């Protein structure tokens, strides 16, 4: 099953999710409508809401319950939370491009972007209340808190050339993998699976999200701006010590290591060509890909706990896609 097959499998469900997203974005404040519609409709793979749908369908949620379509609501909630983090991220990082388009902060300014991000967060919590599950509220409130902690941890690591691989992976687990984890766990919760199954789905999402972010780190130094939809070397420009930089720093020559150290501490792209060469010379990209593949395999192993189905196969395909993609 390839990624297009996965998209086709849940096409009908995603159409319902997208309709709910559009109707839930409405506000009487015109600027909120403009910015939220712009960022939500600016592309993106929508992997997180897709994971909610695949997880719920893997347990035949829609067939075994007479309750409302909570999987659709929670898929939209997850997308709103993710979009809110993007708006805030772009302000913190002073980003100019996102998915090949100008960022909201570039078009409307930082203040408007932050406040519309807050609107999306609060709208997400309004919607999740309608599911009527304290367990769902607990998972999502904890997730948003953890993501915020991850943002602060990343801020602390910026321009710090002593950041270790372990510290960086902690940032990934908090900032990126946590929402993948919650998306998969929610499908098990609303399908009333036992704790063992629920935790297996959560771990699947956590490992998948980690693999996905590590490949993003690779692409920051190996893909084109057109493919990525953002500027090459953005992480370096912001002084972020991602795994390729951390590995190259500890495996390069003294001169190469000092080059990377200075770049992390000062930020900027003045030495991007030399640093890219150093990353390639030290095998940092291959190392990062290898760690990402290990995470993807760990994710797939967690699915041993759930019944075989076409939706399980789709989740396995997503794990493979996460590490094989080129953008």
Least confident stretch, 17-26, 28-37, 183-192? 28-37
* Alpha helices in the chain, H assignment, sequence order: 3-9, 11-24, 30-40, 47-58, 61-64, 70-93, 104-108, 110-129, 134-157, 165-172, 178-190, 195-222, 225-228, 234-237, 243-251, 254-266, 272-282, 284-302, 310-324
Regarding the domain with residue range 3-311, which homologous superfamily does it belong to in the CATH classification? Farnesyl Diphosphate Synthase (1.10.600.10)
* pLDDT over threshold 80, residue 310: yes
The per-residue pLDDT for 40 is: 80
Distance CA 11, CA 7 (A): 6
Q: Sorting pLDDT into bands at 50, 70 and 90, what band is 10?
A: very high
Torsion sign (Cα): 248, 93, 145, 189: negative
Residue environment code for 57-96, b if the CB has 16+ CB neighbours within 10 A, otherwise e:
bbbebbeebeeebbbbbbbbbbbbbbbbbbbbbbbebebe
State how far Cα 42 lies from the chain centre.
Answer: 16
Q: How do residues 148-196 score in pLDDT, each as one tens digit?
A: 999 999 999 999 999 999 999 999 999 999 999 999 999 999 999 999 9
Q: Give the angle subtended at the CA of 147 by the CAs of 141 and 149, to the nearest 5°.
A: 105
Q: What are the extents of the domains in the chain?
A: 3-311
At residue 97, the 3 state secondary structure works out as strand
Is 243 within 8 Å of 250 (Cβ atoms)? no
The per-residue pLDDT for 26 is: 87
Find residue 33's DSSP bridge partners: none
Q: How do residues 63-86 score in pLDDT, each as one tens digit?
A: 555 455 899 999 999 999 999 999
State how far Cα 295 lies from the chain centre.
Answer: 15
Q: How do residues 83-141 score in pLDDT, each as one tens digit?
A: 999 998 888 877 777 766 888 888 888 898 899 899 999 999 999 998 999 999 999 99
Q: Over range 265-292, report the average pLDDT.
A: 92
Is 249 within 8 Å of 260 (Cβ atoms)? yes
21, exposed or middle or buried, with CB in 10 Å at 0-12, 13-18, 19+? buried
* pLDDT over threshold 80, residue 228: no
The per-residue pLDDT for 65 is: 54
* pLDDT over threshold 70, residue 209: yes
* pLDDT over threshold 80, residue 300: yes
* Maximum CA extent, the chain: 65
Q: Over range 195-219, report the average pLDDT.
A: 96
Higher pLDDT, 270 or 288: 288
């Amino acid at each position: 099953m390839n990624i297009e097959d996965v998209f086709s499998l849940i096409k009908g469900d995603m159409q319902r999710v997208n309709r709910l997203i559009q109707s839930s974005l409405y506000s009487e404040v015109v600027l909120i409508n403009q910015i939220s519609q712009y960022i939500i409709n600016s592309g993106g793979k929508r992997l997180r809401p897709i994971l909610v749908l695949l997880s719920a369908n893997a347990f035949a949620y829609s067939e075994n319950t007479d309750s409302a379509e909570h999987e659709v609501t929670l898929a939209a909630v997850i997308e709103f939370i993710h979009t809110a983090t993007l708006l805030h991220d772009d302000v913190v990082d002073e980003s100019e491009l996102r998915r090949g388009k100008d960022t909201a902060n570039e078009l409307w300014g930082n203040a408007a972007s932050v406040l519309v991000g807050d609107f999306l967060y609060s709208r997400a919590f309004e919607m999740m209340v309608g599911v009527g599950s304290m367990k769902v509220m607990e998972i999502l409130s904890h997730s948003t808190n953890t993501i915020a902690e991850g943002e602060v941890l990343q801020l602390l690591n910026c321009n710090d050339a002593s950041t270790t691989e372990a510290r960086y992976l902690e940032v990934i687990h908090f900032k990126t993998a946590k929402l993948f984890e919650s998306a998969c766990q929610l499908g098990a919760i609303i399908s009333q699976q036992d704790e063992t199954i629920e935790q297996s789905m959560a771990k699947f999402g956590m490992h998948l999200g980690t693999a996905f972010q590590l490949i993003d780190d690779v692409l920051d130094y190996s893909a084109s701006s057109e493919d990525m939809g953002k500027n090459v070397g953005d992480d370096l420009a912001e002084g972020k010590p991602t795994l390729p930089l951390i590995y190259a720093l500890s495996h390069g020559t003294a001169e190469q290591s000092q080059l990377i150290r200075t770049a992390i501490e000062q930020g900027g792209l003045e030495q991007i060509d030399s640093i890219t060469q150093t990353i390639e010379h030290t095998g940092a990209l291959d190392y990062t890909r290898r760690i990402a593949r290990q995470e993807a395999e760990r994710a797939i192993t967690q699915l041993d706990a759930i019944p075989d189905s076409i939706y399980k196969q789709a989740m396995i395909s997503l794990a493979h896609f996460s590490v094989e993609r080129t953008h």
